[in-house]
Structure 1
Amino acid sequence: MRKAFGIIITLCMLAMFPAAVFADTTEDIANSKRPKVLLNGEAIAFNQEPYVKDGITMAPARTLLESLGFNVGWNEETKQLAGFKYGTELRFSLDQKIATINNAAYQLPKPVHMLDGEVYIPLRFTAEADGRSVSWQASEETVEITTKEMKNIRIALRMSEAQSETDTMELVKQLSKHLEENNKISVQWEHIPADYYQEKLNLMIAAGDMADLSYTPDITIFPLDLLSSITWKLDSHITKYSALNKLSEQAVEEVRAVYNDLYAIPKIASSIDASFPVANEHWLDRLGLVAPKTMDELYTVMEMFASYDPDANGKKDTYGLTGYIDKNSLGTLAWVEHVFNENASRYELKDGKLVDLAASEGTRKALQWLTKAYAEGLIDPEVFVLTKAAATKGFKDGKAGFLAMKLAEAAEAEMDSKQQFKPLISLKSSDSAQAVTGAQSAYQGAYIVSSLSKKEKLDGALEMMNALHTIANDQKQDDQLRHFAKEITGTSEVKLDNASKAIKERYNQIAEARELIAAKPLLETQLYAKLDNQQRSLKYQLDEEMLQLKVKVIMGAATIDQWDQYISNLQKNNDYVSIMDAFSKK
């Protein structure tokens, strides 16, 4: 705020005085030095000569900016000149000593001025704003502008389950070329399969072989003493990068809340683009069915999908629902719990106290619903061993009629198959219950910068992430490249980049309808901030035990009575009680 106030005062003062008070006069310029300007050893051919006055080199703006790779524009009405290139936007106003770099205001050593029809700007300021080095060779009266050395950055990424390795490598090649040409960043990509990504990352950390920049699906697994010893704290570093400064405030606060300081760059997501059931619309039409609105209606549709040959192949080889599970949750089956609990989160504040909905009647009903559907052959029997890629392929190939997917994933799947899909807007546990839709945290993992690397690696990693966010939000950029950048950085919008116009229109309508229903989920990352390292470890153990029992109940290997007994014992467990007490503290 103090900086912004200072800028306002400066601008007001500049407006009070005529430009001549600050600008070099024609006589001053005539008596000044006329230096040669070299860019990486080659002379820049100016239409009019630069000059040096009071130790400041002023140069014709258009030639200088274009030599540095900027596109240049002039606004006659505002008397403002602008230079644009990926990641950098410079603006200069005639007769002013203020310029902006990516909308941040900076004081110039001399005012911008016009000479014989050419706008003159300070050379050093402009070149350094573009990340170049500037030196003055007095004996030769030469200004040397040099491009800084290529930054080499190593990044560890979780491989997308939705793309083939061949497609990924082609996109990596294109993105690498763009970063080298526009940002002087050479990237060494380490794509690690999703199935064992976290284990691989943990091994790299233990071996002291961290990448300069690493994606972590869940930053809360790292105790603060470990995280602070292996990563840079970013609060004071991230502010000078314009695109990173525009990250979702909600996502940034979720990451910061875990450790009070910002140790990672969040990968952001649409809060409504969470996994929620998507129906095979061709099957609905073929059997004369409408999209279900309650869990009873959904069950009936699943029965029809499993029994009445919806793909018309003359075989009884289809299921009502397929999916896959995560390590600590029911994954694409978790929405069943959310619907019966009328809440998209596991935890809920009731009368000022935090309640674990895993112990609720809603979760019990959800398990009974799933157990019955599994026993009657409505759920793909391989649901507990399938990967995301396998479940998605099965859904696209017509193996099952429902799969919980994000809107963006459903749009991609529809484009890549002969099916037409219908994402459900919401579901109710009964006619009188509250409608629930897909809702999630705006934080979907994060990127940590290794403090084992030198300071220049930190700068390079942040420059790289800033460039990726710039590409992801550049509507003029190649669609595939922009979409790939969004896969890496995330986006607060529903990602429908590659979808056809018809699909975009349908899915955007669904997204708008979900916006009216979705309630902001209680953020578990903020709860974890209240736990000490031992409690976090215990929490993961308890969650793993709970998931194992849920799977057994659904498969019929354990009874619902055993679940009830487990919950009764859990609520008496000292470790669990201490965790819930910590969660409830303000």
Structure 2
Amino acid sequence: MKKKSFVLLSVTLLVSLLLSACSSGTKSGSSGSEGLTKPLEVSIMTMYYTPEPPGPDNVVVKEFEKRTNTRLNITWVSPNNYGDKVNVTLASGDIPDLILLDDPFNAQVRGMVAQGAFWDLTPYLQDYPNLMLYPKESWENTKQADGKNYGIPRPRPTDGGGFTYLRKDWLDKLKLDVPTTTDELYEVLKAFVEQDPDGNGKKDTIGYIGFVDQNGMANFGQLQNSFTKVNGDWKLIDGKLVNVNLLPEVRESLVWLNRAYVEKLIPEDFAVLKNTQSKDLLKSNRGGGFQDTVEAAWEPTEELRKTIPEADFLPLVSLNGYSNKDSGFFGMFAIPKTVPEDKMKQLLKLMDYGASQEGSDLANFGFKDVHYTEENGIKLATPQAQKDIVAQQALGQIFLKYDPYLRAYRTGMPLDVLERNKKIIDEKAKISMGDPAVGLYSETSTLVGTELRKKIQDMKTKVIMGKEPISAWDDYVEKLKADPDLLKITEEMNEAYQQRTKSE
């Protein structure tokens, strides 16, 4: 609605009718107040991923304010030091109306929740239909120890996260089927190394470009998970959480990886290889497989197609009947209890509008034919979008509708790859398994967990490289079963799990 209309129209009924018509564009309507009320002052703290954050006079921010009858005072913080900024802000007691908690389960947040510092939003959420369209995992996995929601999740897809992808054109050339088990995958990787899939007459290809780091299995993580069939370090067995490192399936994964290392199916320097180096190997036509999100498989594909038009990295649906389900959130927006109840409801209404199709499109893409064009249902950013700082990496860090296919598309991707990715995500969603320990707290793990994980990973790396025999892993597992720290962590994790389950 044009700004001058509010000046010219003086008849209250006509103003009311016009505002009502304006709000009918979304399921829940715009969050602006009915009538010519004073704009709602809203302070927000969040992060940004654009080179510079949007300013207060940003054209899309101003339009968002206009449609919602708000005045947004946004504190933009670089992700490089966002955690520190959150800690300082929470400690100060001067908390904005909406604060993005990038780690909703750290000790400081937990303590403040227990002290009643944030609104329990659980009884109110049902009145905000667009927020209720977020997947149940987004809400379940952001519940605190008492089983209640003290924040609005920043939604992320539950399916399409980091998993194995393979060179489909190499499979076709070698007349191999897409593998569905780790045994079949092993044979595929062996063929990638031994049968010259790149056709240069040299044995210079690597089956799977994987690496570990000192804290965990990193890009071998989902290969291990394909043996344990759970996305994380804890598996629910007979109603109790068990650390996966004690399970025989982890041993099987180490035997598999050691064999792959001996037969040179994985990089010899996997223990020190970095993510950027791994991607360089993929883009230089050296690697047959990798672990990343569904849409990320397009990155090396696009580069390779400059010289190899048929190049194609295919994301796998599953291995051994397993596919990973992610948590469905990346942080959450909390509202401090210093905000009055009536304003808290207005803030929920604002966030609900941001989760609508209209609000999300405005925040993430701006104005059609100005900041984006649309082709085959795909929104393509214009140079003006970059100039005006209009992007999901900016205002879209606050306002975003749930999109199950967010991990299906990257800029420049052809329509056939996009549609294939959507189908892969749909198939994953039918069988994917999540992490039952998301959000659970163990004080002992906070104190000693990092060091314990490093010791476990150090032994895994040595076994994979053959520096220690598999029997050394067996001996180590027996010691872990009696390790007082792991026993205490397991006890605390199960207590937290039972408490959350009873509260639900």
Q: Shorter-chain TM-score: which interval?
A: 0.7 to 0.9
Pairing 1:217-256 to 2, within 5 Å after superposition? 217=103, 219=105, 222=108, 224-228=110-114, 232-235=118-121, 241-256=128-143
For the Cα contact (< 8 Å) 2:164–2:315, is it kept in 1? yes
Q: Pick from 555, 566, 569: which aligns with 2:476?
A: 566
Pairing 1:361-380 to 2, within 5 Å after superposition? 361-380=248-267
Q: Which amino acid aligns with 1:427?
A: L
- Cα deviation 1:53-109 (Å, max 9, x = unaligned): xxxx6x13xx5444x4x656xxxxxxxxxx4356852xxxxxxxxxxxx8xxxxxxx
2:178 is the alignment partner of 1:295: no
2:9 is the alignment partner of 1:44: yes
Q: Which amino acid aligns with 2:165?
A: V
User: SS state of the match for residue 378, structure 1?
Assistant: coil
* Structure 1 residues 227 and 200: alpha-carbon distance in aligned structure 2, compared to 1, 3 A threshold: same
Q: Pick from 324, 331, 342: which aligns with 1:446?
A: 331
- Cα deviation 1:99-124 (Å, max 9, x = unaligned): xxx8xxxxxxxxxxxxxxxxxxxxxx
Output the CA distance in 2 between the equivalents of 1:318 and 1:166.
37
Give the aligned partner of residue 10 of structure 1.
Answer: none
For the Cα contact (< 8 Å) 2:207–2:289, is it kept in 1? yes
Give the TM-score, by structure 1 length. Answer: 0.64
How large is the RMSD of aligned CA atoms in angstroms?
4.3
Count of matched residue pairs: 455
- Cα deviation 1:298-326 (Å, max 9, x = unaligned): 22322333455544456655422224557
* Structure 1 residues 150 and 449: alpha-carbon distance in aligned structure 2, compared to 1, 3 A threshold: same
User: SS state of the match for residue 278, structure 1?
Assistant: strand
Offset at residue 291 of structure 1 (A):
2.0
Output the CA distance in 2 between the equivalents of 1:414 and 1:167.
30
Output the CA distance in 1 between the equivalents of 2:460 and 2:62.
48
Give the aligned partner of residue 24 of structure 2.
Answer: 84
Output the CA distance in 2 between the equivalents of 1:271 and 1:380.
30
Pairing 1:148-163 to 2, within 5 Å after superposition? 148=39, 151-157=42-48, 159=49
2:70 is the alignment partner of 1:130: no
Q: Which amino acid aligns with 1:446?
A: G
User: SS state of the match for residue 314, structure 2?
Assistant: strand
Give the aligned partner of residue 155 of structure 2.
Answer: 268
- Which shifted more, 567-576 or 487-496? 487-496
Q: Pick from 91, 95, 99: which aligns with 1:213?
A: 99
Output the CA distance in 2 between the equivalents of 1:217 and 1:311.
44
Give the aligned partner of residue 509 of structure 1.
Answer: 423
Give the aligned partner of residue 376 of structure 2.
Answer: none
Output the CA distance in 2 between the equivalents of 1:300 and 1:216.
41
Output the CA distance in 2 between the equivalents of 1:399 and 1:230.
55
Output the CA distance in 2 between the equivalents of 1:173 and 1:320.
48
Unmatched runs of 5 consecutive residues or more in structure 2 = 306-310, 369-378, 382-389, 499-504
Sequence identity of aligned pairs in percent?
A: 21
Unmatched runs of 5 consecutive residues or more in structure 1 = 1-37, 51-56, 73-82, 90-101, 103-128, 135-144, 160-164, 429-434
* Structure 1 residues 448 and 350: alpha-carbon distance in aligned structure 2, compared to 1, 3 A threshold: same
Output the CA distance in 2 between the equivalents of 1:390 and 1:461.
44
Give the aligned partner of residue 493 of structure 1.
Answer: 404
2:282 is the alignment partner of 1:395: yes
- Computing the radius of gyration from Cα coordinates, the structure with the larger value is 1
For the Cα contact (< 8 Å) 2:189–2:208, is it kept in 1? yes
Offset at residue 203 of structure 1 (A):
6.4
User: SS state of the match for residue 321, structure 1?
Assistant: coil
Q: Which amino acid aligns with 1:300?
A: E
User: SS state of the match for residue 267, structure 1?
Assistant: strand
Output the CA distance in 2 between the equivalents of 1:546 and 1:201.
31
Output the CA distance in 1 between the equivalents of 2:269 and 2:436.
31
Give the aligned partner of residue 385 of structure 2.
Answer: none
Q: Which amino acid aligns with 2:438?
A: T
- Which shifted more, 224-233 or 481-490? 481-490
Q: Which amino acid aligns with 2:181?
A: T
* Structure 1 residues 155 and 349: alpha-carbon distance in aligned structure 2, compared to 1, 3 A threshold: closer
For the Cα contact (< 8 Å) 1:152–1:460, is it kept in 2? no
Output the CA distance in 2 between the equivalents of 1:182 and 1:472.
10
Give the aligned partner of residue 524 of structure 1.
Answer: 437
Output the CA distance in 2 between the equivalents of 1:85 and 1:282.
45
* Structure 1 residues 350 and 190: alpha-carbon distance in aligned structure 2, compared to 1, 3 A threshold: closer
For the Cα contact (< 8 Å) 1:271–1:492, is it kept in 2? no
Q: Which amino acid aligns with 2:250?
A: T
User: Which structure's residues are more often strand, by fraction?
Assistant: 1
Q: Which amino acid aligns with 2:136?
A: E
- Cα deviation 1:519-564 (Å, max 9, x = unaligned): 54351126x25x4x34554445433432343334334454433322
For the Cα contact (< 8 Å) 2:83–2:102, is it kept in 1? yes
Give the structure, 1 or 2, with the largest relative contact order (CA under 8 Å, sep 6 or more): 2
Give the TM-score, by structure 2 length. Answer: 0.73
Pairing 1:303-314 to 2, within 5 Å after superposition? 303-312=190-199
2:220 is the alignment partner of 1:333: yes
- Which shifted more, 335-344 or 382-391? 382-391
Q: Which amino acid aligns with 1:445?
A: F
For the Cα contact (< 8 Å) 2:209–2:289, is it kept in 1? yes
For the Cα contact (< 8 Å) 2:128–2:348, is it kept in 1? yes
Q: Which amino acid aligns with 2:33?
A: G
